[in-house]
Amino acid sequence: MKVRHQQVAGYFYPAEKERLAADISLMLNLAKPEKTYKNIFGIISPHAGYIYSGKTAAYAYNLLKGKNYSTVIVISPSHAEYFPGISIYDGDAYETPLGIVEINQSMVDRLVEGITTIFRGLQGHRREHALEVQIPFLQSVINNFNIVPIVMGDQSKRFIDELAQKISEVAEDKTLVVASSDMSHFYSAAEADRLDSVVEKRINDFDYENLIKDIDARECEACGAGPIVAMMKAAALKNINNSFVLNRSDSGDVTGDKTEVVGYLSAVIYS
């Protein structure tokens, strides 16, 4: 097997299997959503180190407990390298300290068929943390699933639209989509709250068209805006148009330093 080995274990989350499992279990116990959702198409989850954003992520992952998903499409921005297009890992599996998760090759075949902007490759997968940090949470709440690991090297409208269309074509009842994104970076907590509240409102209104306009106009920030909008547009193409922000926080909630923070948000997309 060609396996994409863990790159940020010991940095963004614990490298020891037992400690990682215990930390995720603790975060899930601390982050209980007020409601449950029956038919979940996707979630938005942050991707900072677990000590900073893990609890916010856990609000979304808690909703997946007891649900039966066979494939999870994880969409990530690319932090380490730029490339034109959308890269799906060209190997067989992703590895974390909790084990190996195999890739759904038949779904990948359908996603890359007849299109040049979505392709199998290593681009974006070599060192990317934003995709990797979602997998241990998935391994902790879902059983017997495989993945489609996607990294967006370019988040412009053309690529968002083409990915949304393809996902809407391949997503089935037992398919979950995860969009990985943090919010504003390195503003005061007050300014971060102002910026991130714009994203929160657009998500709660299921208004992805104006969300991407706000991002482009710098009215708000989200490093994974492309993954978020692609997931929401794919949902809309399947007549799914409900979304709700479950939790919002910033790094200052952990460090106590509110002068320069990173914002985090988790949300659910459901029918």
Give percent of the chain above pLDDT 90.
Answer: 100
The whole-angstrom separation of Cα 269 and Cα 21 is: 26
- Sign (positive or negative) of CA dihedral 93, 268, 68, 233: negative
Task: Tell me which residue of 162, 77, 158 sits closest to 118, measured CA to CA.
Answer: 162
| DSSP summary character for residue 103 | B
pLDDT tens track for 225-235: 999 999 999 99
Q: How far apart are CA 183 and CA 196, in angstroms?
A: 6
| Positive or negative torsion for Cα 207, 42, 28, 183 | negative
Please write the tens of the pLDDT for every residue from 29-58.
Answer: 999 999 999 899 999 999 999 999 999 999
Q: What is the pTM of this model?
A: 0.98
- Kindly give, in sequence order, each residue whose CB lies less than 8 Å from that of residue 256, ignoring residues fewer than 6 positions away: none
Place 67 in a pLDDT band, splitting at 50, 70 and 90.
very high
Q: Tokens representing 83?
A: 């490339």
The whole-number pLDDT of residue 126 equals: 96
The pLDDT of 82-106, averaged and rounded, is 98
Report which secondary-structure segment, H or E, holds 26.
helix 17-30
CATH code of the domain made up of 3-270: 3.40.830.10
126-to-4, 67, 136 alpha-carbon distances in Å: 8, 31, 18
CA-to-CA separations, 56 to 8, 118, 190, 205, 246, in angstroms, rounded: 19, 30, 19, 20, 8
Give the H/E segment covering residue 4: strand 3-4
* Residue 241 identity: N
Sign for the pseudo-dihedral over CA of 204, 226, 51, 103: positive
| CA gap 213, 193 in Å, rounded | 19
pLDDT for 123-170, tens place per residue? 999 999 999 999 999 999 999 999 999 999 999 999 999 999 999 999
Q: Which of 72, 75, 53, 88 is nearest to 138 (CA)?
A: 72
Domain edges within the chain? 3-270
CA distances from 227 to 43, 85, 155, 191, 202 (A): 11, 13, 8, 24, 15
Question: What pLDDT was estimated at residue 260?
Answer: 97
Q: Could you tell me which of 71, 99, 102, 98 has the C-alpha nearest to residue 89?
A: 102
